[in-house]
């Protein structure tokens, strides 16, 4: 029960109510209702002081939280800037690596082409194609007269 209810003289209240025409039972019921209201629904100075103290505590807590938020925000911004610079560095490194790979591919393709050409020339040298004579335009192609081959005589070697 609050101090306000303790300061309320219930006996005096009941006497005044009976004097004005209420029955004793009606007066006691009203006293009980008033003490309930005064005890539980009204705030005393002590209640207000407690609420003020709690409000001050909450305001202090809010300020601490705000300070932590600002610190965290600054940390996050610093971290983001660090990540941005790392991202740029990584991007530059990747671009350099891509150019290096492209150059390697060009070199390997060039080597493969040169190797293929070398292989082709080697095959052409190992198995040469017969040379055919094509006369200039306007000239007739005349075949040489065949020489009779004598038995036990070697065959002539072709010329290029």
Q: Which residue has the higher pLDDT, 111 or 128?
A: 111
- What's the chain's average pLDDT? 84
Give the pLDDT band of residue 2 (cuts 50, 70, 90). very low
Q: What is the pLDDT of residues 7-38, one digit of tens each?
A: 668 889 889 989 999 899 998 998 888 887 77
Is the model's pLDDT at 151 over the cut of 70?
no
What is the C-alpha to C-alpha distance for residues 18 and 30, in angstroms, rounded to an integer? 11
The number of angstroms, rounded, from the C-alpha of 13 to the middle of its chain's C-alpha atoms is 74
| Domain parsing of the chain, residue ranges | 1-42
CA distances from 119 to 18, 107, 110, 128, 144 (A): 131, 18, 14, 13, 36
- Looking at residue 78, its pLDDT comes to 93
Model-level pTM?
0.38
């Amino acid at each position: 029960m609050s101090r306000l209810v303790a300061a309320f003289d219930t006996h005096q209240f009941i006497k005044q109510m009976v004097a004005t025409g209420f029955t004793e039972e009606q007066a006691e019921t009203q006293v009980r209702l008033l003490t309930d209201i005064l005890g539980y629904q009204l705030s005393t100075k002590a209640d207000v002081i407690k609420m003020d103290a709690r409000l001050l505590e909450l305001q202090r807590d809010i300020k601490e939280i705000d300070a932590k938020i600002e610190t965290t925000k600054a940390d996050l911004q610093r971290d983001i800037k660090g990540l941005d610079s790392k991202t740029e560095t990584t991007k530059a490194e990747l671009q350099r690596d891509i150019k290096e790979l492209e150059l390697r591919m060009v070199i390997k393709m060039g080597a493969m082409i040169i190797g293929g050409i070398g292989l082709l020339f080697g095959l052409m040298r190992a198995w040469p194609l017969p040379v055919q004579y094509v006369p200039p335009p306007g000239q007739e192609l005349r075949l040489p007269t065949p020489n009779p081959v004598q038995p036990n005589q070697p065959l002539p070697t072709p010329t290029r």
